[in-house]
Structure 1
Amino acid sequence: MGLTSNKVLVVAIALAVLLFVGTVWLWPRLARSGWRSVSGRVGLLFATQVMLFASVGIAANQAFGFYASWADLFGRETDQGVVVDHTTNGGTGGPLQVLSTQKVTGVSGTRPQTAGQVQKVDIVGRTTHIATPAYVYLPPEYFQPRYRTRTFPAAVVLTGYPGTAQALVDKLHYPGTAQQLAKDGRMQPMILVMLRPTVAPPRDTECVDVPGGPQTETFFAKDLPDAVLAHYRVGKKPGSWGIIGDSTGGYCALKLAMHHPDVYAAGAGLSPYYKAPIDPTTGDLFHGDRTLRNRSDLWWCLKHEEAPDTSLLVSSSKIGESNYKDTLKFIGQVRATNLTRISSIILESGGHNFNTWRREIPATLQWMSGRLSDR
C-alpha cells in the first residue's frame, strides 16, 4: 500500500484505536510493581502514542501532499535517472513523453472537447539533463476543431518543498479552477504545466544553478519551455508564458520572472520568501560563488540590478503568515523601480497551508490570464 493510499490511513487509525482500547482493557492487569508489568505499561503507552502520531502524520500528508511515497519519505527516492533516446538522425524521442491521461477532477463529462484533460508526462532537459515528472492541463478549447490552429498561453505551476506535483491537481485543484474560470469568462483558456521545484529529490535546490550540481534555474528558464513548446501548441513569445508557485515554489516563481523576463512575462508567488535559505535540505547551494548567492537574493537584485520588465504578484495574510512584513517591504521596493509591475493579495488571516492557497488561486489565475497573450 502506498503512503498516500486511503487504506494506509484507515489501517493506521484502526491500529491506534485498537491499541487505545487494549491499553484501557489491560491496564488493571498490569497495575503491579514487577518489571514485567512496568514494561507492559510502557510498551502499550509507547505503541499507542506511535500509532496516534503516525495517524496524524499520514492524515497531514494526505491533506498537504508533503511526500508522494515511502521512498520519498525516507529519502530513498531513486527515480533520478535520465533517459535520452539517440538515433542516427539526432534523436526523435522528444524531451517530453506523455505517460497517461485523466479527466479533470470536479468537472462533468469525460470528453476532452468539453471537460479538458490532464496528462501525466516525463520531461527531460536537453541541456541540463534533468528528468522530472509533471502534469499538464489542457483546456477543452485545445481539443476543439475551431481552435486547431490556435496557440495557447501557458503557466508553469510549482509546489512548495517537498511537495508533490499530484497535489497541484488533487489538493489545490488548479485544473478544475482554471476550467471553471474560463467557462465563466473570467480568464482565457490556458495550459498549465504543474510540477515541483524539487527536480533533484530529495535535495531542495531552491531553483539555483548549483555549481557542479543540478542546473535547476536553467531547466526552468530554458529546458522546460523548450520541451513544452516542442509538444504542445503554446505561444512562443515571452508574453505567452507565466509562472506561479507557493512557498518555495513562490520564491522560485518570483526569481525566475525577475531573472528571465524574456521567458516569463509574469510571476506569482503565493506565501513566498525572498532569499534562498541554506539548511540541511539545500546543502551548499553556492560553493563560495558570491555572484550566484547575490542573484538568489531578491532583495539584492532589486537594489543592485536593472529592474526587469515583468509583472509580479505576491500574497500574504495579516495573521498566520510569517512573511507579511517582508511582503509589504518587497512591494514597496518593487514599486520604487518604476518598471517592474507589482500586485498583491493580502488576506486578513490565513496560515501557510493548502486552504489559504486555494482561496488565492482563482484570483491568481485571473491575474495571470490578464497578463499573457496567446501568440
Structure 2
Amino acid sequence: MGLTSDKVLVLAVVLAVVLFLATVWLWPRLSRRGFRPVAGRVGLLLVTQLALFAAVGLGANRSFLFYGSWADLFGQEQQLGVVVDHAAGTKDVRVVGTQALDVPGGSRPSVGGQVQKVVVEGERSGIASPAYVYLPPEYFQARYAKRKFPATVVLTGYPGTAENLIKALDYPGKAYAQAREGRMQPMILVMLRPTVAPPRDTECVDVPGGPQTETFFAEDLPKAVSGMYRVGTKARNWGFMGNSTGGYCALKIALHHPDRFAAGAGLSAYYKAAEDVTTGDLFHGDEALRRRGDLLWSLDHGQLGSTSFLVTTSKKGEGNLKSTREFIRKVKSPAQVSSIILDSGGHNFNTWNREIAPGLVWMGERLSAN
C-alpha cells in the first residue's frame, strides 16, 4: 500500500482510535504502583501518541503530498535508478512507462490521452532527469497525425516530486478538461521537479563548476522533447509554468530566454534566487550571476523580449504580494504581464488548484502549434 493511499490513512486512523480506547479501558488495571504497571502506562501512552502522530502526519501528507512514496519519505531516489545509455545514437528522451488518465474511456489514448514516464538526458548540461509527459487525446487521433502541438514545461516546488503535479495538482486532468470544453487548444505538458541534482536546490542556475540547471531547462529539455514528440522548436511553441520554486524558475527561464519560450507563468513565485543551506554556494562570488538571478533587477537592467508573463498571489495568505506587484509594475513593452490575485489563499496545493486551470487557458492563448 502506497504512502498516499486511502487504505494506509484509514488503517492509521483506526489503529489510533483502537489504541486510545485500549488506553482508557486498561488504565484502571495499570494504576497500581510497581515496575510492570508503570511500564504498561508508559507503553500505552507511547504507542497511542505514535499512532496519533502517524495518522495526523499521513493525513497532512495526503492533503499536501510533501512525500509521494515510502521511498521518498525515507530519502531513497527510486526514479533516478533508471539506467540511461550514453552510447552514440541514444535518444535524449526515453519512455520507461505509461499510464492512462482517469476519465471516461481513458484506457484508450485517442480518447483520454496518455501520461508517459520518461528520462530526459541533457546533451549540453549532462543532466539526466525523470519526467512525465502528458499527451492529449488529439495527439493519437488520425486526423491530427501530421499536426504539431504546443508544449509547456511544468515544474513543482522544492523539494516536491514530479508525482505531485499529477496526484495533487492534476495538471493532465485539468488540461484534458479545458481542451475538451473548448477553453484551450490541446497542449503537451512536460512535468518534472526543479531538483535535477538532488538533494540540492539549484534554483535553475548554471552553478559555476556545478550543475548546469538553467542550460538543462532552457536548451536541453525543449530540444530533447521536440526531437521525440511533435512539438515545434520556435519560442511561440513553448511555455514554462510552475509553483513556488518552480514558479521562480518559470519566470526566470522565460525572462532570460525569450528566444526559446514565449510565455512564463509563476504561481506563488518569488523573484530572487534563494541562498540557504539547501542551495549551497550558487554563485561562487560572481556578482553578475547573482544579480541575474534577481528578476526585479533583470527587469530594470536587461533587454526585454516579447515574452508574456503570468504571476499569481493573494491579498491575504501569501508572502509575495508586494514583490508580485513590483514585478507587474516593472514589466515594459514589448513584454506583457497578466496576474491572478486572489482575495485569500496560502502557499499550498489548494491555492494552486484554483489557479492552474485559468493559467493553462492563459498559456494556451499565447502559444502556437506551428
TM-score of Structure 1 vs Structure 2, range by shorter chain: over 0.9
- Structure 1 residues 183, 63: closer, same or farther in 2, change over 3 A? same
Summarize deviations over 1:252-272 as a string: whole Å, max 9, x none: 111110111111110001111
8 Å CA contact retained: 2:79, 2:130:
no
Deviation at 1:78, TM superposition (A): 6.3
Q: Look up the match of 2:16.
A: 16
Residues 280-289 or 125-134, more deviating:
280-289
Q: Look up the match of 1:204.
A: 201
How many residue pairs get aligned? The number is 370
User: Does residue 154 of structure 2 align to residue 160 of structure 1?
Assistant: no
- Structure 1 residues 192, 65: closer, same or farther in 2, change over 3 A? same
The residue type equivalent to 1:200 in the other structure is: A
Give percent identity, aligned residues only: 65
- Structure 1 residues 113, 106: closer, same or farther in 2, change over 3 A? closer
Counterpart-to-counterpart distance in 2, 1:122 and 1:158: 15
8 Å CA contact retained: 2:265, 2:359:
yes
User: Does residue 358 of structure 2 align to residue 363 of structure 1?
Assistant: yes
Deviation at 1:55, TM superposition (A): 1.6
Deviation at 1:19, TM superposition (A): 2.1
Counterpart-to-counterpart distance in 2, 1:242 and 1:252: 12
Q: For 2:182, what is the secondary structure of its paired residue?
A: coil
Q: Look up the match of 2:122.
A: 125
Deviation at 1:46, TM superposition (A): 3.0
The residue type equivalent to 2:241 in the other structure is: I
* RMSD of aligned residue pairs (Cα, Å): 2.0
- Structure 1 residues 266, 341: closer, same or farther in 2, change over 3 A? same
- Structure 1 residues 106, 84: closer, same or farther in 2, change over 3 A? closer
Deviation at 1:6, TM superposition (A): 3.6
Q: Look up the match of 1:222.
A: 219
The residue type equivalent to 2:107 in the other structure is: T
Counterpart-to-counterpart distance in 2, 1:47 and 1:84: 44
User: Does residue 351 of structure 2 align to residue 351 of structure 1?
Assistant: no
Q: Look up the match of 2:287.
A: 290
- Structure 1 residues 2, 177: closer, same or farther in 2, change over 3 A? closer
8 Å CA contact retained: 2:312, 2:340:
yes
The residue type equivalent to 2:358 in the other structure is: A
- Structure 1 residues 254, 59: closer, same or farther in 2, change over 3 A? same
Counterpart-to-counterpart distance in 2, 1:121 and 1:78: 13
Q: Look up the match of 1:50.
A: 50
Deviation at 1:366, TM superposition (A): 0.8
Deviation at 1:205, TM superposition (A): 1.6
Match of 1:273 among 267, 270, 274: 270
The residue type equivalent to 1:332 in the other structure is: R
In structure 1, the gaps of 5 or more residues are none
Counterpart-to-counterpart distance in 2, 1:144 and 1:77: 36
The residue type equivalent to 1:345 in the other structure is: I
- Structure 1 residues 183, 279: closer, same or farther in 2, change over 3 A? same
Residues 278-287 or 307-316, more deviating:
278-287
8 Å CA contact retained: 1:81, 1:131:
no
Q: For 1:122, what is the secondary structure of its paired residue?
A: strand
- Structure 1 residues 317, 86: closer, same or farther in 2, change over 3 A? closer
Q: For 1:314, what is the secondary structure of its paired residue?
A: strand
Deviation at 1:289, TM superposition (A): 2.1
- Provide TM-score, normalisation by structure 1: 0.92
Summarize deviations over 1:127-172 as a string: whole Å, max 9, x none: 2221221111111111111211111100011111122212212221
Q: Look up the match of 1:301.
A: 298
Q: How does 1:1-375 map to 2 (within 5 A)?
A: 1-32=1-32, 34=34, 36-77=36-77, 80=80, 83-87=83-87, 91-334=88-331, 337-375=332-370
Counterpart-to-counterpart distance in 2, 1:237 and 1:353: 33
8 Å CA contact retained: 1:119, 1:135:
yes
8 Å CA contact retained: 1:124, 1:130:
yes
- Provide TM-score, normalisation by structure 2: 0.93
